[in-house]
């Protein structure tokens, strides 16, 4: 072996480009009945709103006895009956996007969103780019 070392180039690992546009979706994933929230998420919300963690937990979450987890509270919604309390039901977007919970940050964890595919399909079938298909 000679005194030279082989250099192995560092390859940048990139995520596949998303093939969906959340700004065109009515918020299917935000309508999940249970959006689990962690202590870290509550701390982030508390800081954002200038509250104590206890105040943030009381104001924004509830304990689900069936699953034994803390979840975000909901509000009424014309399309999905209820939706995350931080979802702007007029503009159809998240109002806390920069401080959203970890579960929301991680979703979807693949390049394609099933809800977005469903939405595109239904809009094409209806011939209406504004159509909102509901599952209820």
| Domain segments of the chain as ranges | 30-107
| Angle, vertex CA 119, rays to CA 14 and CA 79, nearest 5 | 120
Peptide bond into 108 cis (omega under 30): yes
pTM as predicted: 0.76
pLDDT at 34: 93
Among 17-21, 37-41, 43-47, 75-79, the least confident range: 17-21
Higher pLDDT, 110 or 42: 42
């Amino acid at each position: 072996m000679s005194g030279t070392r082989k250099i192995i180039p560092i390859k940048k690992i990139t995520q596949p480009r998303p093939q969906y546009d959340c700004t065109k979706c009515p918020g299917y994933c935000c309508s999940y009945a249970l959006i689990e929230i962690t202590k870290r998420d509550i701390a982030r919300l508390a800081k954002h709103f200038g509250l104590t963690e206890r105040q943030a937990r009381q104001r924004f979450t509830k304990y689900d006895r069936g699953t034994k987890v803390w979840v975000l509270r909901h509000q009424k919604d014309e399309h999905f009956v209820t939706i995350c309390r931080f979802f702007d039901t007029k503009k159809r977007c998240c109002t806390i996007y920069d401080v959203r919970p970890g579960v929301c940050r991680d979703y979807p964890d693949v390049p394609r969103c099933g809800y977005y595919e469903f939405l595109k399909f239904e809009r094409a079938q209806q011939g209406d780019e504004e159509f909102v298909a509901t599952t209820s």
